A and B are shown apart, each in its own frame.
Chain A
Amino acid sequence: MATETSAPPLVRAGGLSAGADRRISRHRLRERLGTQAFLIPITVVLALFFLVPLAESVYWSFTDYSGFSQSSHLVGLRNYREIFTDSEVLTGLGFTLLYAVATTVIVTVIAIPLATVLNRRFPGRNAVRAAFFFPAVPSMALLGLVWTFVLSPLSSGVINSVLGDVFGVGPVPWLSDNTLAKVSVVTVGVWAQAGWHAVLYLAYLQSVPRDYYEAATIDGATPRQQFFRITLPLLAPAMTVSQFLLLINGLRVYDLPFTLTKGGPGYATTTFTQVLIQRGVSGGDYGLGAALGVVFLVAVAIVLFLQLSVTRRLERRFR
């Protein structure tokens, strides 16, 4: 049965009618608003808990606010000048960068081969995977406290006992010598994170089709060639994610060095975050603390931007 309609034609010569045009754009506008409405709650949260505090930090970084007095004064760039001339801050920044870069490089170098081993079939594979993942479960602060006993510089320390009993080597000053303390902090940081990142690489490895390896084997590729020509390029996206996380964790590190060495001996293992907390909060110099926070944010943004640029370029190259 045919039905006639008196509605105006939707299409006129040369395109849609003006009314239909308006209805469609209203419809699209509503759709767009509907989609964007999903962003409102997170935008509110972001504004309340990030943008407003950030703006306030920038303001306070130009003041001498101490938290002890009811007034504060604008002091221009004084706090920023102090940051770049204070040896404690600069030492903290230096060790933080060393820790971030060293853990990122070493964990990556360890985690990828470890992931390829964990991807093979062998008895007790799941237990071994769990064992490597386990150090990522407890907090870094707890690990730091435990490793304090393991790395105790006394002959009664766990490692020193073994060295003394088995090899007859005298106690090694793991945490009481500047260089060894830095090495110890980085080593524990690597130990704590390598397993977790190996599991991350493992997840990516499991999505690599076996066909690639079978074809490469038929073509006569050695396991080494397969690793460098197939595995590594296909892990490039995983490396981007892993190194991004490692760098962020490294740059903001506080709990592990603080519990393991308290930032010492001297300033040897003091981190930027520790300086921020000690000088800004505990020392009541909130103006300086805010300036440290702003500088830290900018430094982290620059480092992460560089890291993402490099790894994405590598990803494109291997694609």
Chain B
Amino acid sequence: MSIDPTTAQLSRRRFVQGSLMAALLGGTALATSSCSTSTAAGGGGGAKTLSFLSWDTQTVMQPVLDLFKQQTGFDVSASYAPPVAQYVSTLQTRLQSGTAPDVFILTAEDKQIVPGGFVKDLSGQSSLSVMNSANKDFMTVDGKVYGLSISSWAGGIMYNKALLAKVGASSLPDSWDGFLELCAALKAKGITPYYDAAKEGNFMSLWGLLGGYFADHGGFPDQDIFAGKTTFADTWTEPFVAYCKLYTQGLTPQSILGLTGDQVVSEFANSRVAMFGAGTWNVPTVQKSAPDLSFDTGAIPGFNKGTTYWTGAASPGFAVNAKAKNPEAALKFLEFMASLDGAKVYGTSSGAITTTSNYTPTVPAALTNQAAGARSGKIYLPVVAWPRHSNDLNTELTTQLQQMIQGSVKPQDIPAALDKKLKQLDGK
């Protein structure tokens, strides 16, 4: 059999040309697809369309967006990214590439975009008038408000009433020393007293203890620490050492370093630990896991007798892109979220405790205390109060605390270690 050389040459030529064409088309398609993704991510166009990046799920936000459209006539092109790292990363990428939406979520971890000029100053907007002062403080940078935060969460100490009754207690004490005594009494009865989800860096009772201490001792020092006017060592050491007595006195076992938050909840639901640091999100899980368990949640006992405080923070706020394609719709959206209807539909859909002055949410009985704590504004969480390096400092704090629980670091050395870390991060 012979092969026609002309045909063979043509086939090869066609093959080479075809391959080159395919490669070019492939490359073009890739380039085009990445462009089209960017365009889509930038949100739909048109004067009647608002683009929005949410970190709540679509299930939570869809009823809110539907009502917004119904009331204002604006369409919403929404995209979603889960909190926290993935959301922050998505927002950063879109801001840097000029495809950011008109409205996005401003939170502690991405507050550093404010000095970068990406966020519109909302000071003076009428929608801010209903904001709780704690929420407004959270959204304020250098005296200007950059977001609308309409809800908060509060965390305290959830306790098993039956186990506390075994040592004659019916509720939490009103001082930290009293709390340590309660833990000691439980331990003497063979009951594991208290867990914080230390493996995940969730030292719930520490944050509230610090907050109460600062509230009673001249105010929160975070801004002054970061301005170099004071230090962690000067302001944190006393309450911090008091918290660490849970571990230095052997009231909480070292094994908590190996427990996830879910395992801690499971231990509580099975009555194997009397108390644990709990957020509002833990209540439904405990109710579902142990329907017959009698429990309640109280504020963190204060450093000084008779004072209590909650761990907690204002929820991330809705912020407007400084280069929004549709600023009118963006501001309308904020007005809607601040309205009674907006707060109500968002609170109902998300289960969040809304804190706006124009609407009081109805919450399940088991959440009453925490809801009151969140709405009172007596909540503190250092990581959201720190103006910069919050992620790195929180990692350092968690690591130091874990080493302290193992006995390789002294409690009084940890605030100084935070000062050193901050200095190192600022020195870059």
A residues adjacent to B (C-beta < 8 A): 30-31, 33-34, 37-38, 40-41, 44-45, 48, 64, 66-70, 78, 82, 88, 148-149, 151-154, 156, 171, 173-178, 181, 261-262, 264-267, 277-279, 281-285
Contacts and interface: CB of A to CB of B under 8 A. Distances in A.
B339 interface: no
A34 B258 contact: no
Interface string B110-132: 10110111100000000000000
Q: Closest 5 interchain pairs by CB?
A: A175-B258, A176-B257, A37-B19, A68-B112, A153-B255
Given A70-B116, A281-B85, A262 B23 contact: no
Contacts of A277: 85
A283 B13 contact: no
Interface stretch (B180-188, B208-216, B296-304, B395-403): B395-403
Contacts, number: 136
A178 B403 CA distance: 9
B5 to A, nearest CB: 9
Contacts of A34: 12, 15-16
Interface of B: 9, 12-13, 15-16, 19-20, 22-23, 26-27, 30, 84-85, 88-89, 92-93, 96, 109-110, 112-113, 115-118, 199-201, 254-260, 263, 267, 270, 272, 389, 391-392, 395, 398-400, 402-403, 405-406, 408, 428
Given A45-B26, A68-B113, 14 more contacts: A37-B20, A41-B22, A64-B428, A66-B112, A156-B270, A176-B255, A261-B258, A265-B403, A266-B400, A281-B85, A282-B109, A283-B391, A283-B395, A284-B92
B272 A156 contact: yes
Contact of A37 (B15, B26, B255, B406): B15
Contacts of B88: 282, 284
A152 B391 contact: no
B402 A265 contact: yes
B255 A82 contact: no
A69 B116 contact: yes
Contacts of B16: 30, 33-34, 37
Contact of B391 (A82, A154, A278): A278
A153 B257 CA distance: 9
A176 B252 CA distance: 13
Contacts of A44: 23, 26-27
8 contacts: A34-B16, A44-B26, A153-B254, A154-B255, A173-B257, A176-B257, A181-B258, A266-B402
Contact of B117 (A67, A70, A261): A70
Nearest to A178: B406
A264 B20 contact: no
Contacts of A37: 15-16, 19-20
B428 A266 contact: no
Contacts of B260: 148
A152 B263 contact: yes
Given A31-B12, A267-B399, A279-B392, A154 B259 contact: yes
B392 A283 contact: yes
A171 B254 CA distance: 11
A111 to B, nearest CB: 29
A77 to B, nearest CB: 13
A280 to B, nearest CB: 10
B256 A176 contact: yes
A116 B201 CA distance: 46
A173 B257 CA distance: 9
Contacts of A281: 85, 89
Contacts of A151: 258
B259 A68 contact: no
- Identify which of B93, B113, B428 gathers the most chain A CB atoms within 10 Å of its CB: B428
A38 B403 CA distance: 56
B402 to A, nearest CB: 4
A163 B115 CA distance: 56
A177 B88 CA distance: 33
- Identify which of A45, A82, A148, A282 gathers the most chain B CB atoms within 10 Å of its CB: A282
